[in-house]
Amino acid sequence: MSTDHQTRTAWAAAARKYEDEYAAHLEAARTAVLLPPELDALADIVPGADVVHPLSGHGLDDAALVRLGARTVHGLDYSEAAVSSAQRRANELGLPCRYTQSTLPNSGLPDACADLVYTGKGALIWLADLDAFLAETYRLLRPGGRLYVYEAHPLVPLWTWDADEPRIRPDRGYFAASHVNDTFPGRGAVEQQHTLADIVTAGLRSGFLLENLAEHPEPFWRPGGVDAAAWDGRLPNSFSMLARRA
Ligand SMILES: C[S@@+](CC[C@H](N)C(=O)[O-])C[C@H]1O[C@@H](n2cnc3c(N)ncnc32)[C@H](O)[C@@H]1O
């Protein structure tokens, strides 16, 4: 089985959660807000913006983007369950969001249709060809438009979830090309490992002007029942990147 097929199969299974958790997500969407570093970066950019959100998943961030003032949000995901449940919720809440099933890096959207491409929180790890993805996001942006990524730090696959002390997993390496995800959701999917340098230089190669790059101690996601010492503020667990189309 190709790694791409293995990942799609794992997500097709995991995507059931988008339907199972529909009611909880509907409630969460009523009050969803972006994380503090996202608000710092985007508070002046989102109002009035047409936003494209590749790998939109459950789409809760789309409700938060609308709350911050986005004019429209267009979510893209290859999971039928993700797209249909997010669309149903947006319709129910009267949000200006639409969802299209598409397989990135091919969005299927026209050139220069967005003021902001927003993505992350478990997105770049599913994309083997970062150059193709970033070139596609560049193509979608209007001149002067922004790409914003808030993502797990590329070191995260190395941290154990031990509660007493942070440790490095003996089966992982920072410079490995990929590893197989062993936690829900996405268990069994092949995670592509891009180093921070890979991500930044791929953005520059696509023509983006880097406006801000920051590393953060907080993970963007804490699975229930886990309190890892790796999250106690000493190690990087997420990063954010804001880049502008010339
Ligand atoms: C971990 S989720 C995170 C997405 C979103 N940020 C969220 O918080 O829900 C990853 C999503 O990416 C989708 N996905 C993975 N690879 C994809 C690809 N090549 N094209 C489109 N969607 C993809 C999966 O279906 C899944 O819904």
pLDDT at 51: 98
Ligand 1 centre from 41 Cα, in Å? 22
**What single DSSP character describes residue 29?**
H
Calpha distance 223→231 (Å, rounded): 12
**Is 12's pLDDT higher than 80?**
no
Closest-CA residue, ligand 1 atom 26, reads 57
Q: What is the pLDDT of residues 43-87, one digit of tens each?
A: 999 999 999 999 999 999 999 999 999 999 999 999 999 999 999
The verdict on the CB of residue 103 being under 6 Å from ligand 1 is: yes
> Does 103 score more than 80 pLDDT?
yes
* Burial class of 143 by CB neighbour count within 10 A (0 to 12, 13 to 18, 19+): exposed
Dist. CA 47 → ligand 1 center (Å): 25
Taking the centre of ligand 1 as the mean of its atom positions, its distance from the CA of residue 58, in whole angstroms, is: 9
Select the highest-mean-pLDDT range: 9-13, 116-120, 187-191: 116-120
In this prediction, residue 69 carries a pLDDT of 98
> For residue 6, what pLDDT is reported?
77
* Tens-digit pLDDT profile for residues 115-147: 999 999 999 999 999 999 999 999 999 999 999
Q: Find out whether the beta carbon of 78 lies less than 6 Å from any atom of ligand 1.
A: yes
Q: Does domain 3-244 have CATH number 3.40.50.150?
A: yes
Residue 1, pLDDT > 70, answer no
Domain-wise residue ranges, the chain: 3-244
Nearest to 134 by CA among 198, 73, 202: 202
Cα of 90 vs centre of ligand 1, distance in Å, is 18
Gap between the Cα atoms of 35 and 213, Å rounded: 16
**Given this model, what pLDDT does residue 224 score?**
82
